[in-house]
């Protein structure tokens, strides 16, 4: 993670502290105009309230650009030192600000350049040589984007770990596994929990790809046609920690694919979190009672004293809507753009900031809820219906050479007989069973035990204790070193058949 990411950087700016810099606008482009902007146009034009949070990145990019200009012989070393000192002074000044309210500037680039010129005089005007706000904003945004990706990855890992810890803790609890929300086959609770962790591992891997996309330096692209001066872009990239430079200046100023892919990743994570949340809402309901969310993550009702509401899960589920919406918004902005830079692109930041902020709030909360929830083995055990093992009954016959189709049919008959007599499958007598198929023997009752059923599925990715252990190890490896583009190597521990080994 980039240690330069300032703490609390995603906190929305507060506006209650007085600004120390006046609010007189300082347009960067006034020369060819006789009149100023109409007030209503100023409001539309202004992006400062959104791009304010890029100020550190703008200063960082500007300092690197000044060094680039010096290397290209466009600034004397005295001028370059003066500009660097000025930018550091601007940085200290902006540290004192809580937000842009009261500033009349158009955007953060204008603020920085104005404060620089106020600090060091006309030599500040040399900083923008060969640069446009188009390559500048694209650079600032990517500098921010790399930090955001690291932060998101850093917030996903604790949730994956919380799910894994809970899976280890609850490995002995056998619960109904569902299809169509109907009881299907028994699974360990840990298997359910890990089924919610793997999608998040894929989200981590997606973010790695976003980081690679973002890791391209646009600076030096100018407005669209590149820089007329001999600025060493490779050196600039090294200076700013980018591993590549953009190869086409027109693409360099207009490429926001990384931002769209970040938004896709955030939306996908939102969908995954929403699914986890839905499980928590459902399983914590009175009807299920499989789990209880910790006091710290539930709320009561102002009217109904008995209520214990799963707000953490509902809010997580609800916020996924705006994560999906932000992606749609961005794709819609990008869709109709003609060649080159277009001002529409200014709309890119709001969506990305909002999605990252949303996840920065949601992820820690849902992580805490998972870490502190308790499963109720009694309620889960009582919910297990014997029919969950109907498939095991068919598999029993298959092991005795009966073709699966017929075995399935015979098991179904037994379910029908049990249902008709208001019995559970295990209550059927051996005579009743052998009447349906002669291959049934005394040992059939063993396969009707949900724990045995779970233990019998020992394939990799299956439900046995050993398979679950191997899954946990594979998960830990995937989180440490997410596999990209390759089939992950098999986990070190191979699941043994029905070994009865339980997770540590
Ligand atoms: N605030 C602008 C943005 O976010 C900066 C670039 C302005 N460029 C321009 N040609 N007006 O995109």
Residue range 10-30: average pLDDT?
47
Taking CA atoms only, the protein residue closest to ligand 1 atom 10 is 134
- Ligand 1 centroid–CA 221 distance in Å is 14
Q: Domain spans of the chain? A: 39-129, 134-382+467-479, 385-456
Overall average pLDDT of the 466-470 stretch: 97
Mean confidence (pLDDT) of the chain: 90
Q: Are 277 and 318 in contact (CB under 8 A)?
A: no
Tell me what pLDDT residue 344 has: 97
* Atom of ligand 1 at shortest range from CA of 349: 4
From atom 11 of ligand 1, which residue's Cα is the shortest distance away? 343
89 CA distance to ligand 1 middle (Å): 24
pLDDT per position as a tens digit, 335-349: 999 999 999 999 999
CA of 94 relative to ligand 1 center, distance in Å: 21
- Our answer to whether residue 132 is catalytic in this structure is no
pLDDT score for 503 = 32
108 Cα nearest atom in ligand 1? 1
Q: Does the structure show a pLDDT above 80 at 21? A: no
Given a cut of 90, is residue 495 above it in pLDDT? Answer: no
Average pLDDT over residues 118-134: 97
Catalytic member of 3, 24, 77, 180: 180
CA 45-50-51 angle, 5° bins:
90
Return the best residue to mutate from 105, 134, 344 for the ligand 1 pocket (most ligand atoms within 8 A of CB).
Answer: 134
**CA atoms of 194 and 279, how far apart (whole Å):** 13
Among the CATH numbers 1.10.10.410, 3.40.50.1700, 1.10.3720.10, 1.20.200.10, which is that of 134-382+467-479? 1.20.200.10
- 383-427 pLDDT, tens digit per residue, is 998 889 889 999 999 999 999 999 999 999 999 999 999 888 989
Residue 391: CB atoms within 10 Å: 17
Ligand 1 shell residues, CB under 6 Å: 47, 51, 107, 133-134, 137, 341, 343, 345-346
For every residue of 141-179, DSSP letters joined together read HHHHHHHHHHHHHHHHHHHHHHHHHHHHHTTT-EEEEEE
Residue scoring higher pLDDT (5 or 474): 474
For residue 282, the Cα-to-chain-centroid distance in whole angstroms is 23
pLDDT for the residue 305? 78
Is 301 noted as a catalytic residue in this protein? yes
The neighbouring-strand residues paired with 375 are: 291
pLDDT for 308: 83
Using the predicted structure, report yes or no on whether residue 350 has a pLDDT greater than 90.
yes
For residue 415, the SS3 value is helix
The atom number, within ligand 1, closest to the CA of 107 reads 1
Question: Residue 26 has what pLDDT?
Answer: 61
> According to the model, what pLDDT value does residue 467 have?
97
- CA-based torsion, 55, 37, 225, 254: positive or negative: positive
In angstroms, what is the span from residue 346 Cα to ligand 1's centroid?
A: 6
pLDDT value at 16 more than 50? no
Select from 139, 140, 144, 163 the least CA-distant residue to 218.
Answer: 139
- How far is Cα of residue 248 from the mean position of the Cα atoms in its chain? 30
Q: Of 76, 243, 285, 301, which is the active-site residue?
A: 301
Domains 134-382+467-479 and 385-456 share a fold: no
Counted residue by residue, the chain has a size of 504
Calpha distance 202→196 (Å, rounded):
11
Q: How close is the Cα of 110 to the center of ligand 1, in Å?
A: 10
Write the class of the CATH domain 39-129: mainly alpha
Over residues 293-311, the mean pLDDT reads 87
Say whether domain 385-456 belongs to CATH 1.10.40.30: yes
Residue 25 has pLDDT above 60, yes or no: no
pTM of the model: 0.88
Residue nearest to atom 12 of ligand 1 (CA): 346
Q: 398 CA to middle of ligand 1, Å?
A: 69
Lowest mean pLDDT among 35-39, 270-274, 319-323: 35-39
């Amino acid at each position: 993670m980039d240690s330069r990411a300032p703490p609390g950087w995603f906190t929305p700016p507060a506006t209650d502290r007085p600004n120390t810099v006046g609010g007189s606008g300082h347009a960067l482009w006034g020369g060819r105009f006789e009149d100023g902007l109409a007030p209503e146009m100023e409001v539309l034009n202004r992006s400062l309230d959104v791009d304010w949070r890029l100020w550190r990145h703008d200063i960082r990019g500007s300092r690197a650009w000044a060094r680039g200009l010096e290397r290209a012989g466009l600034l004397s070393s005295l001028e370059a030192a003066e500009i660097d000192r000025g930018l550091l002074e601007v940085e200290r000044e902006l540290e004192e600000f809580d937000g842009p309210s009261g500033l009349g500037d158009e955007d953060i680039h204008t603020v920085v350049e104005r404060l620089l010129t106020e600090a060091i005089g006309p030599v500040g005007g040399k900083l923008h040589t060969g640069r446009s706000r188009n390559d500048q904003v694209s650079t600032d945004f990517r500098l921010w984007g790399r930090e955001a990706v690291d932060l998101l990855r850093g917030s996903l890992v604790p949730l994956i770990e919380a799910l894994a810890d809970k899976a280890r803790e609850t490995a002995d609890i056998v619960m109904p596994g569902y299809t169509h929300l109907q009881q299907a086959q028994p699974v360990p609770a840990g298997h359910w929990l890990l089924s919610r962790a793997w999608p998040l591992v894929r989200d981590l891997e997606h973010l790695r790809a976003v980081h690679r996309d973002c890791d391209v330096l646009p600076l030096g692209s100018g407005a669209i046609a590149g820089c007329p001066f001999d600025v060493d872009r490779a050196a600039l990239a090294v200076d700013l920690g980018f591993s590549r430079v953009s190869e086409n200046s027109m693409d360099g100023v207009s490429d926001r694919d990384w931002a769209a892919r970040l938004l896709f990743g955030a939306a996908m994570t939102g969908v995954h979190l929403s699914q986890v949340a839905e499980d928590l809402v459902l399983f914590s309901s009175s009807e299920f009672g499989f789990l209880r969310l910790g006091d710290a993550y539930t709320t009561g009702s102002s009217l109904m004293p008995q209520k214990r509401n799963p707000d953490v899960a509902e809010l997580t589920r609800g916020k996924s809507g705006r994560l999906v919406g932000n992606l749609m918004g961005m794709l819609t902005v990008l869709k109709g753009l003609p060649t080159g830079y277009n001002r529409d692109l200014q709309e890119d930041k709001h969506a990305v900031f909002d999605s990252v902020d949303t996840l920065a709030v949601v992820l820690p909360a849902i992580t805490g809820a998972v870490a502190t929830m308790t499963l109720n083995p009694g309620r889960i055990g009582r919910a297990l219906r014997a029919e969950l093992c109907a498939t095991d009954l068919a598999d029993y016959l298959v092991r005795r050479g009966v073709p699966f189709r017929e075995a399935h049919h015979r098991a179904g008959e037994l379910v029908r007989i049990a249902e008709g007599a208001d019995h559970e499958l295990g209550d059927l007598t051996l005579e009743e069973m052998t009447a349906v198929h002669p291959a049934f023997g005394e040992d059939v009752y063993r396969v009707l035990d949900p724990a045995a059923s779970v233990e019998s599925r020992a394939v990799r990715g299956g439900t046995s204790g050993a398979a679950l252990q191997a899954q946990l190890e594979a998960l830990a490896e995937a989180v440490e070193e997410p596999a990209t583009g390759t089939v992950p190597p098999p986990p070190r521990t191979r699941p043994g058949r029905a070994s009865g080994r339980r997770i540590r």
